[in-house]
Structure formats: C-alpha cells, structure tokens
Amino acid sequence: MDAAEQSGQRPVILVCCAIADARNSVAEELERRYSADYRIASAGSALQATTALRDSAEHGEKVALLLADQPTGMSDDGALFAEARRLFPDVRRGALIEWGFWGDRATTGSVLQLMAAGRIDYYVIRPWHSPDEYFHRTVTEFLLEWERAIGDRPREVTVIGDDTQPRTHELRSRLARGGVPHAYASPETEGGRRMLAESGVAYAGVPLVRLLDGRIISDPRDAELARAYGLTTELPADEEVDVAIVGAGPAGLAAAVYAASEGLRSLVVERESIGGQAGSSSLIRNYLGFSRGISGSELAARAYQQAWVFGAGFVHSREAVGIQSSDGGFLLTVAPGEQVRARSVVIAVGVSYRRLTVADLAAYVGVFVFYGASAVEAAAQAGRTVHVVGGGNSAGQAALHLARYAERVSLLVRGKTLADSMSKYLIDQLEAAGVRVVTSVEVVGGGHGDHLDHLVLRDHSTEAERNEQSDALFVLIGAAPHTEWLPESVLRDRWGYILTGNDVLEEGGHRAWPHERLPGALETSVAGIFAVGDVRRGSVKRVASAVGEGSVVVSAVHSFLNAAHR
C-alpha cells in the first residue's frame, strides 16, 4: 500500500488554463461531477502546473488527468504534458480547446503536433454550458482508462504468487488479455499474507488465484480459470451449429458478430484469450472509429460482448485439434476428445510470435523474456533498461507503451529501415518518445545467472558482436500460423499458411478442388471450410483487415449453406 492510499488522498485532476474565467469554468464543472472521488486542482500557467505535479509526486499523490490549454512559461507547448508523463506514467493528458476552434489553423496545428509526438492522448472541448455531457464523456473515458492502467483499486480477482515464476506472469497475462481486472500480491507481502489467512490457504510454491467471494484456486489451468470468472468452457450437447469459428481474434470475433446477427447458429472455440495476438496490443491508433485509439484487450472485449448479445456461443480455453467431413457437414474435435457437429467451419486461429533461437535466453522466458508485451509486464519495468525485438506495428506499439515506465527502451530491428514495415505515425511517436531504434541487428545471446542483465547483439553490417545492458526483452517478430492440427486436405504453403480462393486452383489444381464451381475468395481446398485473418496466405496483417475478412466471410458461408440445401 502506497503513501497516497494510506493517507486516504484522492487522485488529482489538474486543470491548467491561462485565462481565469476559462480555468474556473472547467474546474467548477469538474468539481460538481467528480469532487467526491478526485481532488480538483487548477493552475494559471505551465510553471504553476509543473510545480503542482511535482508537489503531488513528492507527497505520494496520484494524478489521474491533466487538462491544459496552450501552456506558457516553458520551452514548448508539449513540455508540461511530457513532465506529467515523466512523473506519472499512467496519467491521461488532454489539450483543452474552445468550441469551434478545431477550424483554427494554429489550434489544429498544435493539437496535431502534440498528438503526433505522443504528448497528449486527445483534445478536450472546454465546457460551454452545465452540465456538458459531451465534455464529461471524454473526461470519464480518460478516468476509466487511467483506473484500468493504474491497477491499484480493489479488483475482483487477485493473483498471489512468486514474481520469478513464469506461471505467475502467464496467469496475469491471461487475465489482462481476457479483459479481467485483477490485482497482484506477493505471498511475502502483508496483503498477500492477509488474503491467504482469510481464506485459510497456505502458499505452497505455486501461484494462487483469489476470487471475489474469497475462494482460492491453486495454479488453475486456463479452462479452470475461465470457469472461475464465469466463462463457458463446455461444448453444446448434441447440437449442430451452422458455423463453427475456430479462433476469437479480430477475424473470428467479426465472423461471430455477423454470423449471429444474421441468424446463423454460431459457436466460437478459443484456446487462449479472447482477442488473440491483437489482445496484447497496448494501443491501436489507426482502427476506424476510435480517434484516440483503443487497446487490443478493450477492442476484443467489446467485440465479444457484441457477438454474445447476438446469440453467438463461446467455448473458452479449449483447443480445436481436428476436423473431419461427416454426412455433408463437419465434426470439429476439441481436446481432450469431444466433438461438435457443424455445417460449416471458419478457421481464424491467427498466428503466434516466432521464438528466438537463442539457447542462452531460454531459461528467462516468462520472467525476463516475453513474447508480446501485455500491460501487466510493461508496468513492471519502471526504472529499467529494456529491449524490444521487431520492426512491425506491434513492436512499435509495445516500445511506446514500455517507454511510459522504463528508463530506457531500445527497439532492435533486423532490417535496414522501419519505413517498409511500420506505420509512419508510430515511427514519429517512437522518435518523440526517445525510443532508441537500432537497425541491422539481431540478438544472439545474453543473460547472467538467475537474472537477465545483458544481451549480446550482432551487427549485420559488420558481423561484430557487442554486449548491452538489459533488464528485460520483449519479442514481437514474424509470425507462425497455428495450422498443424488441420487435415492434409486443407492445403497450406510451406510456412503453414492456408491457401484460399484462386491459390487453391493455382497450386493444387482440380485434384485439390474437384467441384464445378470455383472456390470462394476465402474458401479453402475443402468446400465449406473457410479461412480468414492472419492465418490465410496473402492476408494483410492488420487488425482492420482481419475484421473485414471476418465480416465478409459470412456471406460466403450463407452461399455454401444455401447451396447445400438444394
């Protein structure tokens, strides 16, 4: 428990406006709505606001939100926002503008510059009447994001375990990617000992999960953990579905939304977490409709709820291990050996990050070496030196998120440039955030005893090797499709990506497709089995593209099912 919690201090919302009337109107609107839970503070200049931020940090207060107009008294407009992020990594920052000033060239230029540099999270229109619900919608969204990020409010689920055990990290990552708010406690802390005593459970060296009702489950498997917080892990009994969707990443979730909304009996089988690989993305800035961006886990949670209320069924933490044709339909086998009958199947299993083939680092996986970069692991890197391997958008997003907490972040890229593999806005934000980008380099070694303390890097241009201090490594390189469980009749390329549409005929010929009609654009070499998203050869590796394919495939499913009835 920190100083702020012990003293009962309320988190701070700080308003910085040079004009007194504007400052007072914003502060008063905030006071009326939030003063019971937050302390509303105000400042007339960036210098005063900076002093207030530093005082809050010194006294152990938490600053949840900074709203500031064009700050003066510092070297540049973004310096106040940068200082707020330095002192409070999870603070939300909004640039206050007057209603209608989005058409003012100077205001627009300032907002765009601050957004591009990652200095603000968004702009906020100053309230011009009371209550101004549009203003409050933006503020409450900021506060919800902050509350989720800060992670020290009471949670429904608590993981109690040794931070040096990979399974402890794995459980926390599963919960975070599944959108389940949770807390963490070491069994050696006062809080951890108290919860164990209240539940009458002794810590035996394996991680424990404490639920809201006080129950504690010991090192739960994924399915047991899913059931513990109310998710379904059982297959429907003796029921045929119109479409079985394997994988609940963006493509699978989109397919579930559209299939269920159009009246198809739909079942989604997901072996890990809702959201797939995208669920670990800290912030997706270029997804349509979310101008401030949205985290992968939040996007997945919204899509899951949308599919669920349309009637789609979900089987969580269960792995599909086989498909076979049967009486004009398909039998989908789910480990350990159960089956569900489906009239059609959509494969949306996505891909997983490739593993580094560096023997020296194998012992550190799950504790100091991570595949992906969940918010849980990022927040634990405060004051550390960390490295990220990868040159795509996922790696860039991870590096930006880590830069909130870590003292130093380096992005290691095998290629000669980022321009061919990463969005321009991310490249600009990496530079603005001070992330060091090293190209033409790869990790070939590292570690020391029980803790990772350095990496060995090889420069591709000179073949020279050098050591660099490192406390943690996050790997987001390439992708490997999870398709080894499919029958041989579903054609794949040598990397395991599924062939669809014209590719089936071009590479497999009529022997692979013996039907009179042509295969659909998203149809595999087996009529009635479709593939969407990253697992399909030739797909564009973007969240929006996966969602698009997941929605489009439903029309092809309809066509197949209708033809089967003739």
- Residue found under tokens 């510092």: 74
Of residues 151 and 224, which shows the higher confidence score?
224
Say whether pLDDT at 342 is over 90: yes
Of residues 92 and 118, which shows the higher confidence score?
92
The model's pTM: 0.85
User: β-strand 369-371 against 182-185: which pairing, if any?
Assistant: unpaired
Say whether pLDDT at 1 is over 60: no
Q: What is the CA radius of gyration of the chain?
A: 25
Range 100-113 average pLDDT = 83
DSSP annotation of 518: P
Say whether pLDDT at 60 is over 50: yes
pLDDT band at 103 (very low <50, low <70, confident <90, very high): confident
Residue 543 exposure: Cα atoms within 13 Å on the Cβ side? 30
pLDDT band at 56 (very low <50, low <70, confident <90, very high): very high
User: β-strand 480-481 against 351-352: which pairing, if any?
Assistant: antiparallel
Q: What is the pLDDT of residue 8?
A: 59
pLDDT above 70 coverage of the chain, percent:
96
Range 520-530 average pLDDT = 95
Q: What is the pLDDT of residue 77?
A: 54
CA pair distance 455, 460, nearest whole angstrom: 16
CA pair distance 121, 145, nearest whole angstrom: 11
Q: What is the pLDDT of residue 318?
A: 94
pLDDT band at 74 (very low <50, low <70, confident <90, very high): very low
Roughly what angle, to the nearest 10 degrees, separates helices 424-432 and 393-403? 20
Establish whether the linkage from the previous residue to 519 is cis, with ω within 30° of 0.
Answer: no
Q: What is the pLDDT of residue 307?
A: 97
Q: What is the DSSP string of 287-338?
A: STT-TT-B-HHHHHHHHHHHHHHTT-EEEET--EEEEEEETTEEEEEETTTE
**The amino acid at 507:** E
User: β-strand 157-160 against 92-97: which pairing, if any?
Assistant: unpaired
Say whether pLDDT at 2 is over 50: no
Instruction: Give the model confidence (pLDDT) of 366-404 as tens digits.
Output: 889 998 777 778 888 989 999 999 998 889 999 999 999
Instruction: Map out the domains of the chain with their CATH numbers.
Output: 3-150 (3.40.50.2300), 157-228 (3.40.30.10), 243-352+480-565 (3.50.50.60), 359-475 (3.50.50.60)
pLDDT above 90 coverage of the chain, percent:
62
Range 237-248 average pLDDT = 93
H or E segment to which residue 16 belongs: strand 12-16
Q: What is the pLDDT of residue 7?
A: 44
Q: Mean pLDDT for the chain? A: 90
pLDDT band at 566 (very low <50, low <70, confident <90, very high): low
Question: Strand, helix or coil at 197?
Answer: helix
Q: What is the pLDDT of residue 72?
A: 39
Most confident option among 140-154, 223-237, 450-464:
450-464
- Asked whether 241 and 344 are in contact (CB, 8 A), the reply is no
Q: What is the pLDDT of residue 71?
A: 46
Q: What is the pLDDT of residue 275?
A: 86
Extract the tokens encoding 361: 């680092």
Most confident option among 94-103, 105-114, 268-277, 483-492:
483-492
Range 406-429 average pLDDT = 91
Instruction: Please report the sign of the dihedral spanned by the C-alpha atoms of residue 243, residue 498, residue 174, residue 228.
Output: positive
